[in-house]
Protein backbone atom coordinates (compact mmCIF):
# COMPACT_ATOMS: atom_id res chain seq x y z
CA UNK A 1 0.00 0.00 0.00
CA UNK A 2 1.38 3.40 -0.75
CA UNK A 3 0.57 7.02 -0.50
CA UNK A 4 2.06 10.14 -2.07
CA UNK A 5 3.39 11.67 1.11
CA UNK A 6 3.84 10.29 4.59
CA UNK A 7 1.15 10.89 7.17
CA UNK A 8 1.92 13.71 9.61
CA UNK A 9 4.44 12.83 12.30
CA UNK A 10 3.24 11.05 15.40
CA UNK A 11 5.41 11.17 18.55
CA UNK A 12 5.45 7.37 18.56
CA UNK A 13 6.58 7.24 14.93
CA UNK A 14 10.25 7.73 15.77
CA UNK A 15 12.75 10.19 14.43
CA UNK A 16 12.50 11.08 10.75
CA UNK A 17 16.15 12.16 10.84
CA UNK A 18 18.21 10.48 8.19
CA UNK A 19 20.88 7.87 8.59
CA UNK A 20 23.10 7.34 11.58
CA UNK A 21 22.11 10.60 13.29
CA UNK A 22 18.44 9.58 13.34
CA UNK A 23 19.26 6.09 14.54
CA UNK A 24 21.47 7.50 17.32
CA UNK A 25 18.63 9.84 18.35
CA UNK A 26 16.19 6.92 18.53
CA UNK A 27 18.66 4.81 20.53
CA UNK A 28 19.20 7.62 23.05
CA UNK A 29 15.44 7.87 23.45
CA UNK A 30 15.19 4.10 23.93
CA UNK A 31 18.04 4.20 26.45
CA UNK A 32 15.85 6.42 28.61
CA UNK A 33 13.22 3.69 28.56
CA UNK A 34 15.61 1.27 30.26
CA UNK A 35 16.43 -2.34 29.40
CA UNK A 36 12.82 -3.01 28.45
CA UNK A 37 13.06 -0.30 25.79
CA UNK A 38 16.08 -2.01 24.22
CA UNK A 39 14.34 -5.38 24.35
CA UNK A 40 11.26 -3.83 22.74
CA UNK A 41 13.35 -2.49 19.85
CA UNK A 42 14.82 -5.94 19.27
CA UNK A 43 11.38 -7.53 19.44
CA UNK A 44 10.09 -4.95 16.96
CA UNK A 45 12.81 -5.93 14.49
CA UNK A 46 11.75 -9.56 14.77
CA UNK A 47 8.05 -8.78 14.43
CA UNK A 48 8.71 -6.55 11.41
CA UNK A 49 10.78 -9.30 9.77
CA UNK A 50 7.99 -11.85 10.31
CA UNK A 51 5.35 -9.40 9.08
CA UNK A 52 7.40 -8.55 5.99
CA UNK A 53 7.75 -12.23 5.16
CA UNK A 54 4.04 -12.81 5.78
CA UNK A 55 2.95 -9.92 3.57
CA UNK A 56 5.32 -11.06 0.80
CA UNK A 57 4.49 -14.77 0.85
CA UNK A 58 0.93 -15.25 2.07
CA UNK A 59 -1.98 -14.84 -0.32
CA UNK A 60 -3.94 -11.68 0.54
CA UNK A 61 -7.09 -13.67 1.35
CA UNK A 62 -5.12 -15.65 3.94
CA UNK A 63 -3.66 -12.63 5.76
CA UNK A 64 -6.53 -12.87 8.26
CA UNK A 65 -7.33 -9.22 7.72
CA UNK A 66 -10.92 -9.92 6.72
CA UNK A 67 -12.14 -11.41 10.01
CA UNK A 68 -15.53 -10.96 11.59
CA UNK A 69 -16.05 -9.73 15.13
CA UNK A 70 -17.63 -7.25 17.47
CA UNK A 71 -16.67 -3.62 17.55
CA UNK A 72 -13.88 -3.21 20.10
CA UNK A 73 -13.29 0.53 19.98
CA UNK A 74 -14.24 1.01 23.62
CA UNK A 75 -12.70 -2.15 25.11
CA UNK A 76 -11.19 -1.45 28.53
CA UNK A 77 -7.49 -2.26 28.92
CA UNK A 78 -5.60 -3.00 32.09
CA UNK A 79 -2.72 -0.65 32.98
CA UNK A 80 -0.25 -3.34 31.84
CA UNK A 81 -2.04 -3.62 28.50
CA UNK A 82 -2.05 0.18 28.11
CA UNK A 83 1.72 0.14 28.66
CA UNK A 84 2.13 -2.65 26.12
CA UNK A 85 0.21 -0.66 23.51
CA UNK A 86 2.48 2.35 24.09
CA UNK A 87 5.63 0.21 23.95
CA UNK A 88 4.54 -1.56 20.76
CA UNK A 89 3.55 1.69 19.05
CA UNK A 90 6.90 3.25 19.86
CA UNK A 91 9.13 0.28 19.02
CA UNK A 92 7.42 -0.83 15.79
CA UNK A 93 7.25 2.68 14.36
CA UNK A 94 10.85 3.54 15.30
CA UNK A 95 12.36 0.33 13.97
CA UNK A 96 10.25 0.35 10.79
CA UNK A 97 12.27 3.39 9.77
CA UNK A 98 15.55 1.58 10.39
CA UNK A 99 15.22 -2.00 9.10
CA UNK A 100 16.76 -2.76 5.69
CA UNK A 101 13.56 -4.30 4.27
CA UNK A 102 10.08 -3.11 3.38
CA UNK A 103 8.25 -1.97 6.50
CA UNK A 104 5.44 0.17 5.15
CA UNK A 105 1.98 0.64 6.61
CA UNK A 106 0.64 -2.89 6.13
CA UNK A 107 3.83 -4.52 7.43
CA UNK A 108 3.73 -2.29 10.53
CA UNK A 109 0.06 -3.09 11.18
CA UNK A 110 0.64 -6.85 10.85
CA UNK A 111 3.73 -6.72 13.10
CA UNK A 112 2.05 -4.68 15.84
CA UNK A 113 -1.15 -6.75 15.65
CA UNK A 114 0.77 -10.01 16.21
CA UNK A 115 2.76 -8.58 19.15
CA UNK A 116 -0.33 -7.13 20.81
CA UNK A 117 -2.31 -10.36 20.33
CA UNK A 118 0.49 -12.24 22.11
CA UNK A 119 -0.05 -9.81 25.02
CA UNK A 120 -3.81 -10.38 25.05
CA UNK A 121 -4.70 -7.03 23.47
CA UNK A 122 -7.36 -7.00 20.75
CA UNK A 123 -6.75 -4.63 17.85
CA UNK A 124 -8.29 -3.64 14.52
CA UNK A 125 -6.57 -3.32 11.17
CA UNK A 126 -8.10 -0.50 9.18
CA UNK A 127 -7.61 -0.13 5.45
CA UNK A 128 -8.66 2.95 3.61
CA UNK A 129 -8.09 4.88 0.44
CA UNK A 130 -8.11 8.33 -1.02
CA UNK A 131 -7.29 10.09 -4.27
CA UNK A 132 -4.20 12.28 -4.32
CA UNK A 133 -3.97 15.70 -5.98
CA UNK A 134 -3.47 14.05 -9.38
CA UNK A 135 -6.44 11.71 -8.92
CA UNK A 136 -4.30 8.61 -8.29
CA UNK A 137 -5.74 5.97 -5.98
CA UNK A 138 -3.77 5.76 -2.72
CA UNK A 139 -4.33 3.02 -0.13
CA UNK A 140 -3.18 2.95 3.48
CA UNK A 141 -3.33 0.51 6.41
CA UNK A 142 -3.28 1.24 10.13
CA UNK A 143 -3.79 -0.51 13.44
CA UNK A 144 -5.97 0.70 16.28
CA UNK A 145 -6.56 -0.39 19.84
CA UNK A 146 -9.74 1.21 21.06
CA UNK A 147 -9.63 4.71 19.65
CA UNK A 148 -5.83 4.92 19.70
CA UNK A 149 -3.94 4.63 16.43
CA UNK A 150 -0.97 2.32 17.06
CA UNK A 151 0.50 2.39 13.54
CA UNK A 152 -0.42 4.45 10.51
CA UNK A 153 -0.26 8.03 11.78
CA UNK A 154 -3.04 10.45 10.88
CA UNK A 155 -5.70 8.47 9.03
CA UNK A 156 -8.26 11.25 8.76
CA UNK A 157 -7.57 11.84 5.05
CA UNK A 158 -8.50 8.24 4.16
CA UNK A 159 -11.97 6.78 3.65
CA UNK A 160 -11.98 3.56 5.62
CA UNK A 161 -13.47 0.58 3.83
CA UNK A 162 -12.19 -2.33 5.94
CA UNK A 163 -11.95 -2.73 9.73
CA UNK A 164 -10.95 -6.12 11.02
CA UNK A 165 -11.00 -6.99 14.71
CA UNK A 166 -8.31 -9.26 16.07
CA UNK A 167 -8.99 -11.79 18.74
CA UNK A 168 -6.25 -11.95 21.36
CA UNK A 169 -4.70 -15.34 21.95
What SS3 string covers 87-117? HHHHHHHHHHCCCCCCCCHHHHHHHHHHHHH
- C-alpha dihedral over 44, 4, 123, 9, to 10 degrees? 70
Q: Is the pLDDT of residue 166 over 70?
A: no
Q: How far apart are the first and last CA of the chain?
A: 27
Tell me: pLDDT of 9 over 60: no
Task: Dump pLDDT digits (tens) for 78-113.
Answer: 999 999 999 999 999 999 999 999 899 999 999 999
| Structural contact between residues 7 and 154, judged by C-beta atoms closer than 8 angstroms | yes
> 11 pLDDT exceeds 50?
no
Position 32 scores a pLDDT of 81
> What pLDDT is stored for residue 5 in this prediction?
37
Whole-prediction pTM: 0.78
* Domain coordinates in residue numbering, the chain: 11-165
> Which of 3-12, 38-47, 68-77 bottoms out in mean pLDDT, i.e. has the lowest?
3-12
Instruction: Quote the mean pLDDT of the chain.
Output: 81
State the pLDDT at residue 60.
79
Q: Indicate the pLDDT class of residue 7, thresholds 50, 70 and 90.
A: very low
Residue 16's pLDDT is what?
A: 52
Q: What is the pLDDT of residue 6?
A: 40
Collapsed DSSP state (helix, strand, coil) of residue 147: coil
Amino acid sequence: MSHARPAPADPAQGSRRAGLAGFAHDLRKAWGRGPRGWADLLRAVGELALANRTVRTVEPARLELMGQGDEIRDAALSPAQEQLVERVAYAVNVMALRVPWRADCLVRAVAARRWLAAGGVASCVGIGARHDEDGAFMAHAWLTVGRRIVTGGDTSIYSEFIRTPATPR
